[in-house]
Amino acid sequence: MTDRLAGKVALISGAARGQGAAEARLFVAEGAQVVLGDVLPEVHDVAAELNGKRPGSAAAVALDVTSHDAWVGAVETARRQFGRLHILVNNAGITSERYGGLQPIETMTLEAWNALLEVNLTGNFLGIRAAIGLLRDTATPLLATNPRASASIVNISSAQAIRPSPHQANYAASKWGQRGLTKVAASELGPVIRVNSVHPGPIDTPMIHDMLVSSLDVLVSLQADTPLARVGTAEEVADLVLFLASEESSYCTGAEFLVEGGRTAATVLRGER
């Protein structure tokens, strides 16, 4: 532990597993207190684990990111339990798997379209809107003596928002929307609050793990199309989010940060490794 987030309080959505849980564990290891939000009850297990390692470091809340009231409640938990809020990580998101999987626009249902935009994009909007007040109240007095002490919002988007693939119009549109929301929020909320987006490629999380282990062809294809020749880990995403949450990124806002093994950089020539 190096205490890169010592004294900071963070709210992380989608924190019951995968990237969100990895971010929460890393934040606590680096000195932060965290409010973990998720619709999955396992979020309470993650909070209990963190409190077992550092008593008083974590609180868990039921958080449906499509609900304004749920977001208000999560922010109020941060205020009531920790008295402040320095960091918001909009991590919660879904893929199209539960809505028919990959589909061309011609046959995609309105339900599949709306569901992904509601969680992935509207969820970010609601989270930002609910957290602005406490983030601003926390950071404003700190900036009077430390110009690097701005609050930080990190939106977890996707490499699909940089280079989209066919048959993912709903997912790609929701993630491109996060790019735009990030830039508008950065322009509105500076200098007190910084806002950046993170764009992971294929990451071995519960959301896609079953697909990776059940289909060798998918795994081989992903590796072949990635210059680093492997899928990423939740911990590698968390490392980048930590940087953006900390004062180390104090002059970064409205920016896009890729963690995707180079997939969007160029076409890999198969067979040349």
Beta partners for 10? Answer: 34, 87
CA distance 74 to 55: 20
- The catalytic residue among 20, 90, 171, 231 is 171
Amino acid letter, 124 = N
CB 254 within 8 A of CB 195: yes
End-to-end Cα spacing for the chain: 37
Closest CA to 253 of 125, 121, 158, 154: 154
Angle between helices 18-29 and 43-53 (to 10 degrees): 20
Beta partners for 154? Answer: 89, 196
CA distance 206 to 189: 33
Sign of CA dihedral 16, 22, 28, 31: negative
CA distance 12 to 36: 5
Beta partners for 33? Answer: 9
CB neighbours (10 Å) of residue 259?
18
Closest CA to 257 of 205, 200, 183, 203: 200
Annotated active-site residue 171? The verdict is: yes
CB 184 within 8 A of CB 125: no
Active site residues: 171
